[in-house]
Amino acid sequence: MIVGLTRLSTFSAFRHRNYRLFWTGMLGSQVGTWMQSTAQSYLVWELTRSALATSLVTLVFSFPSTVLSLVGGVVADRVDRRRLVLVTQTVFLLQAVALTVLTFAGRIRIWEIYVLALANGTVMAFDSPGRQSMLPSLVPREDLSNAVALNSTIFNASRVIGPPLAGLVYAAVGPGWCFAVNAVSFLAILYSLWILRLAPAPTGIVRTHLLDDLREGIAYVRGHHVVRTLLILVALVGTLAFVYIVLMPVLASKVLGGGPAENGYLLGAAGVGATIGALGVATLRATRPGRLIFGFGYAASAALVALAFSRQLLLSMVLTAAVAGCVMAVLATCNATIQSYAADSLRGRVMSIYTLALIGSGPLNAAIAGTLGNWLGADRAIGISGLVMGLAVAGVALRNRRLVDLDLSAPTETEEALPLTSSHAP
């Protein structure tokens, strides 16, 4: 079926065997990951009945990316990226097994959940830049933008299945089985990575000091106006847009009067919306990405504010889907635009800064969600985050007309990257 989809421009990256293997393996794994994430958050909520304690899971998971993602990018530029991701995915598997055993044994404690989340976050600081920077080795340059957008659908299509399934399984037999399914699901991506056939690619790294490599990546981003501004936008979205995800168990329980099943339905609706958003970006292949980014940024802000006022499950699901779709359109377009500029020898470091901007903003996101959720309630916290995000996006747009009007089809725009990409671009 996937091979048949390659006739459509939306799925052109599927023409390439390596990308098909990687994509299907990650999709299977991510379904399990979403089941664990959904069950884990609701388990903490049931054990504590505290919005702050629930948000701390996100904080401890994302904190290592704030500290280590730049180092992870340097590592991704120095080593074989496929082997790096094989190692990180294996460690994720072991973490899921530990969580499963502790839960079935009836010994799981809040601090153990936090420790395992911290371990996962530490590995993610190396896994994310490794996976992101591996994409250009799976497809030719003309399909890179499509591959990046379709890669976003992995995360989101799995959210259509994982959270609702987790909610049903949790309500029926408890969280332990959600964690067990996640452990098994990692076999899909490990098998796919094992059978990939990739040509060895030079990393382009010639320096021997890690700090020199790190400074080179940071200097490139600082000196590149478009990439720098896009990363600022990604950080703003990471800080403000995902407050609703952190507070979803609280929203489902206290605002909508539901339970773990309703929590799963809401997260599943977010997966539907985000998948539609990512597929839309894959289809459009926009040559004017700035207009897409800011337009969907405003729409996401409006949908967050509307979600704060909803008291009906079905309406909340529709609004959650709208938020997720708009946010994913913003992030997928930012990612594809950044990848179109980055040199392969710098790609791991550039994408590690992307990881820092998105996942590394999680501690602040969790702190905002937990503090406002405890103080004002989940609904008001979501509304305020949407309003502030809209103002922040507007501020970036007013100060960066060049990005708003960016035209990737114009030679004057693409030539900006030539000094760094002409000899290393995929």
Domain assignment of residue 389, yes or no: yes
Domain assignment of residue 426, yes or no: no
Given a contact cutoff of 8 angstroms between Cβ atoms, the answer to whether 236 and 385 are in contact is no
Is the pLDDT score of 191 beyond 90? yes
Is the pLDDT score of 251 beyond 80? yes
Region of 310 on the Ramachandran plot (φ > 0 left; ψ -120 to 50 alpha; else beta): beta
Domain assignment of residue 242, yes or no: yes
Could you tell me how many residues make up the chain? 426
Model confidence at 208, pLDDT cuts 50, 70, 90, reads low
Domain assignment of residue 200, yes or no: no
Q: What mean pLDDT is predicted for residues 219-231?
A: 85
Summarised one tens digit per residue, pLDDT across range 316-348 is 999 999 999 999 899 988 888 888 777 777 777
Q: What mean pLDDT is predicted for residues 224-245?
A: 88
Amino acid letter for position 230: L
Q: 365: closest CA among 4, 107, 2, 66?
A: 66
pLDDT of 9: 61
Summarised one tens digit per residue, pLDDT across range 254-301 is 889 988 888 888 988 988 898 888 888 777 766 678 888 999 999 999
Is the pLDDT score of 233 beyond 60? yes
Given a contact cutoff of 8 angstroms between Cβ atoms, the answer to whether 266 and 316 are in contact is yes
What is the pTM assigned to this prediction? Answer: 0.69
pLDDT of 285: 62
Model confidence at 402, pLDDT cuts 50, 70, 90, reads confident
pLDDT of 150: 83
Which structural domain range is residue 336 located in?
A: 2-195+207-421
Domain assignment of residue 201, yes or no: no
Q: Between 239 and 52, where is the model more confident?
A: 239
**56-70, 170-184, 296-310: lowest mean pLDDT where?**
56-70
Summarised one tens digit per residue, pLDDT across range 67-119 is 888 888 888 888 888 999 999 999 999 999 999 999 999 888 999 999 999 99
Give the CATH number of the domain where residue 391 resides. 1.20.1250.20
Q: Any idea what the Cα angle at residue 96 is, between residues 93 and 99, rounded to 5°? A: 155
pLDDT of 414: 41
| Count of structural domains within the chain | 1
Domain assignment of residue 381, yes or no: yes
Domain assignment of residue 202, yes or no: no
Summarised one tens digit per residue, pLDDT across range 371-383 is 888 888 888 999 9
Q: 185: closest CA among 34, 334, 68, 329?
A: 34
Domain assignment of residue 95, yes or no: yes
